[in-house]
Amino acid sequence: MTGSTGTVFRGDDLPAEDRFDCWRELVGRTRDSEMTSAHAHDFEAEMRRLELGPVTLLKSSFPPARFRRSARRVRQSDREVCHLTLVLGGSLSLTRDPRAGTNVFEPGELTVLDSSHPYDVRAIAGRATEGAGPQAPRTDALGIDFPMSMLPLPRDRVRDLMGRGYSGHQGTCALLADFLVGLDRQAALLGPAEAPRLGAVVIDLVAAWLARELDAEAALPDDGRQRALVENVRTYIGRNLHDPELSPPVIAAAHHISVSYLHRVFTQQSEGETVAAWIRRQRLERARQELADPALRALPVQAVAARWGLPRASDFSRAFRAAYGVSPSEHRRTAAAGKARDAGE
């Protein structure tokens, strides 16, 4: 199924004999390699392919498979593409040079390759599809592909980082991993106009991560560093919205920058919106969503507000009305009535 920004593939939608070829064609658009699988005769796989301008995001769950890009294939065709992969389930083994041995990447690890050098990647048995009986175990992975020319870093130095495993739970790499997972989760809601901007953010985050690994942050353009910083700040805010003490000074200290620099960069990258205004808007929106959730109907309005760092009832009610034109209680009643009407239709 093709949408405004990408393609969704489900093996069950196709005859068994066509599934592997279709999946291989989608992967091969940006990851040109010889793909084989012992399960090609009945390839139970799923994939979401999201186009973000020149950046492609691939989320796939698939049986054991092999991806081999030989030296001959490199010589025949090389579009100089960077391949970054985050393992979510199962594992991947990588051989770049048989003399150097094989690296294995487990869930939570991230690795990066480029199309200009041979590689041999094998998807190792992971989990079985839940409730699917004796089907082949799966590998779950999230990848991004983009032209190497988009990285504002010396290519020879970046290649020193290829083929290694990096923890997606620490530092700038964790920010990148979280952003990619969140991007995949929101894929169905993204419109064509948002895609190029989000692709640029992905490149900024990749560049910031690789520059940190190379101790070469100074090589990044100022605008790219600033966009990466703001995404880092937004992720930090999202994780700490529940804390009523969250404030610009706390955020600045956590990122080792001055409050004035935080204000200036954040406002520039957020179309004039201040840090405090962004925090308030995020808190109100999370509370608004939970007030409309039938599963939380028994939770008092103020308890919902407190869950999102808004402990003072009068401040919450006033800010909510200013943002949405109704009180929190009115919003909850209206949402409940609407769901009741929908259920009765």
* Cβ–Cβ under 8 Å, residues 43 and 14: no
Question: Mean pLDDT per segment of 10 residues, for the chain of length 345 residues?
Answer: 65 88 93 94 90 92 95 93 95 88 93 95 71 65 94 85 90 85 82 82 88 71 76 84 92 86 88 92 93 91 93 93 94 83 61
Token representation of residue 265: 């960069």
- How distant is the alpha carbon of residue 92 from its chain centre? 19
Please count the structural domains in the chain: 2
pLDDT of residue 119: 95
Nearest to 23 by CA among 41, 46, 39, 5: 46
pLDDT of residue 302: 93
Report pTM: 0.68
Q: Is residue 226 part of a domain?
A: no
DSSP state, 220?
Answer: S
* Final residue in a domain of this structure, among 143, 170, 197: 170
Beta bridge partners of 92: 105, 123
Q: What is the DSSP string of 309-339?
A: T---HHHHHHHHHHHHSS-HHHHHHHHHHHH
pLDDT of residue 221: 61
Token representation of residue 140: 């779950």
* Final residue in a domain of this structure, among 170, 190, 216: 170
Distance, CA of 82 to CA of 151 (rounded, Å): 9
Q: Is residue 191 part of a domain?
A: no
Taking phi first (over 0 means left), then psi (-120 to 50 degrees means alpha), and beta for anything else, what does residue 108 get? left
Q: Residue 213 contacts by C-beta under 8 Å, 6 or more apart in sequence?
A: 161, 166
Q: Is residue 242 part of a domain?
A: no
Pairing label, strands 119-124, 166-167: unpaired
Taking phi first (over 0 means left), then psi (-120 to 50 degrees means alpha), and beta for anything else, what does residue 317 get? alpha
Q: Is residue 101 part of a domain?
A: yes
Q: Is residue 296 part of a domain?
A: yes
Q: Is residue 270 part of a domain?
A: no
Are 14 and 138 part of one and the same domain?
yes
Taking phi first (over 0 means left), then psi (-120 to 50 degrees means alpha), and beta for anything else, what does residue 300 get? beta
Q: Is the dihedral of CA 201, 206, 209, 210 positive or negative?
A: negative
Nearest to 80 by CA among 98, 54, 59: 54
Distance, CA of 259 to CA of 247 (rounded, Å): 10
pLDDT of residue 305: 94
Distance, CA of 204 to CA of 77 (rounded, Å): 27
The CATH number that applies at residue 62 is 2.60.120.10
Amino acid 285 reads E
Beta bridge partners of 114: 82
* Final residue in a domain of this structure, among 139, 170, 201: 170
* Cα distance from N-terminal residue to C-terminal residue, the chain: 29
pLDDT of residue 2: 46
Token representation of residue 88: 């979510």
Nearest to 158 by CA among 217, 214, 78: 214
Distance, CA of 188 to CA of 6 (rounded, Å): 9
Q: Is residue 58 part of a domain?
A: yes
Q: Is residue 293 part of a domain?
A: yes
pLDDT of residue 130: 46
| Owning domain of residue 136 | 6-170
Are 159 and 12 part of one and the same domain?
yes
pLDDT of residue 174: 85
- How distant is the alpha carbon of residue 246 from its chain centre? 24
